[in-house]
Amino acid sequence: MSVRLLLRRLSMFEMDFLQLAKMRCTTRGFDATPIPQEDLDYILSVGRVAPTACNRQPQRIIVARQPESIAKVEKAYKTFGSPCILIVCRDRRDELIRPFDNKCSGDLDIGIVCDHIMLAARERNIGSVMVGLFDPGIIRTEFDIPDYIEPTALLMLGYPANGFLSSERHETTRKHLTDTVMYERYKENA
Ligand SMILES: Cc1cc2nc3c(=O)[nH]c(=O)nc-3n(C[C@H](O)[C@H](O)[C@H](O)COP(=O)(O)O)c2cc1C
């Protein structure tokens, strides 16, 4: 490991979680630099330890890196030049259904896995965009995905072509805590 890389890793240890969470941002333009296998393994390992309902672990992740695979994803959504796309699917056979209203845990599970992955990527200076608005039918066909596996999100990874967004942007891009958090009972601000 180079001294520069070591220093970067050490400086990450000094970071509190809010700092890392603020540093993560959506990247919609990547350069072609491949993600080192060691970093991809790390990022996927962080996704692996994410919590899921009843620990069912419904996530099934297809890693698309070959140009032909990226071109297949491109048919379903823009890929922003990403050299590495995770097709995050959920296995319907491994989901928890809430008996009171039949709400399925799958999307929550996948969201948590994706967030773990995006934060781990940012820790390694790798950018990401989570995409939900892709055409799942195209992804299903192009990647031979069976009926009981649902393509839920795309995570496009890579090094930002134009840097990361400012950590301070949340001052204007996020609602105030008092608009989203209430204590003891539901209460909307006037
Ligand atoms: C579930 C989910 C789905 C999203 N789908 C898309 C998408 O289809 N296309 C896109 O460009 N960005 C998508 N995004 C990125 C959001 O637009 C972005 O996270 C949001 O605007 C906040 O910006 P930030 O990530 O830079 O903090 C999605 C994010 C989430 C969490």
pTM exceeding the 0.85 threshold for the entire prediction:
yes
Q: Give tens-digit pLDDT for 72-99.
A: 999 999 999 999 999 999 999 998 999 9
Class for the domain spanning 20-165 = alpha beta
**97, HSE (Cβ side, Cα atoms, 13 Å):** 6
Residue 123 above 80 pLDDT?
yes
Tell me what pLDDT residue 95 has: 87
Which of 131, 138, 166, 169 should be mutated for ligand 1, with most atoms under 8 A from CB?
A: 131
Residue spans per domain, the chain:
20-165
Strand stretches in 65-126, DSSP E: 84-91
Q: Give tens-digit pLDDT for 11-41.
A: 565 789 999 999 999 999 999 999 999 999 9
Farthest-apart Cα atoms in the chain, separation: 55
Residue among 92, 109, 77 nearest 145 (CA): 92
